[in-house]
Amino acid sequence: MTANSETVGRNGKRHLTPAGVKILQTASRLFYEQGIRAVGVEAIVAEAGVTKKTLYDCFGSKEELIVAYLRARDGLWRSTLVKHVNGHDGSPAEKVLATFGALREWIRERNSRGCAFLNASVELPEGHPGRAVARDQKAWLLSYLEGLAAEARADDPAGLAAQVLILHEGACVADSMGSLDRAIDRAEHMAALLIEESVPG
């Protein structure tokens, strides 16, 4: 392990060195803007100002760098969503709707090319570890929504969570493709109707 590689802390989590952070930041931007398959290691190291050896010392392979990119983006989306919902002072039912406010903020600031996890699932072959990260992200979101629905005392928290997840995903795709005006607003309105039917008054 070289001076440019990652280190492992006492808690078992890996901590990237400044060179590793630079590589991950550069790769994350290029992967999202240009596509995972379109961006090679050469382009990443050239823009990050490092050598291939440094990249491989830090991540081992392009495949592991892809996984790191998706995990980092997942963590950022989770923190954005939870912070937004926790900052909402409304009722538990209104907190379910607040997830659309978080989605609106995320799309405006970080999601101009649609869902990175959906994009990765399309680009990566079956069996690639990056696809597992993408699936885990959606599973977490469904579980999070179900928890919010349960707090709101929905008749069927799992069913409501599934419906809201579908609205989230559809709104994200429609917005990124420009196929529907005010896609998030429309999805939020539909979710409000579902919540009204599912949550006792």
Q: What percent of the chain has pLDDT over 90?
A: 82
**pLDDT greater than 70 at residue 166:** yes
Count Cα atoms within 13 angstroms, Cβ side, for 201: 3
Q: How far apart are the C-alpha atoms of 95 and 181, rounded to whole Å?
A: 24
pLDDT band at 176 (very low <50, low <70, confident <90, very high): confident
- Angstrom distances, CA of residue 167 to CA of 73, 104, 143, 147, 180: 21, 13, 15, 17, 13
Torsional sign, CA 111, 117, 122, 125: positive
> Does residue 67 have a pLDDT over 70?
yes
Q: What domains can you pick out in the chain, each with its CATH number?
A: 1-60 (1.10.10.60), 70-198 (1.10.357.10)
Q: If you ran DSSP here, which 8-state letter would residue 125 be given?
A: P
Task: Considering only the C-alpha atoms of the chain, give the largest distance between any 2 of them, rounded to a whole number of Å.
Answer: 61
pLDDT digits (tens, 9 = 90+) for 74-119: 999 999 999 999 998 889 999 999 999 999 999 988 888 889 999 9
Q: What's the whole-model pTM score?
A: 0.88
Mean pLDDT of the chain, nearest integer: 91
Listed residue (115, 130, 2, 14) closest to 62, CA to CA: 130
pLDDT digits (tens, 9 = 90+) for 133-157: 999 999 999 999 999 999 999 999 9
Matching residue, tokens 């419906």: 163
- Predicted pLDDT at 92: 93
- Inform me whether the pLDDT recorded for 8 exceeds 50: no
- The answer to whether residue 13 scores a pLDDT higher than 60 is no
> Per the structure block, which two tokens stand in for 102?
């978080």
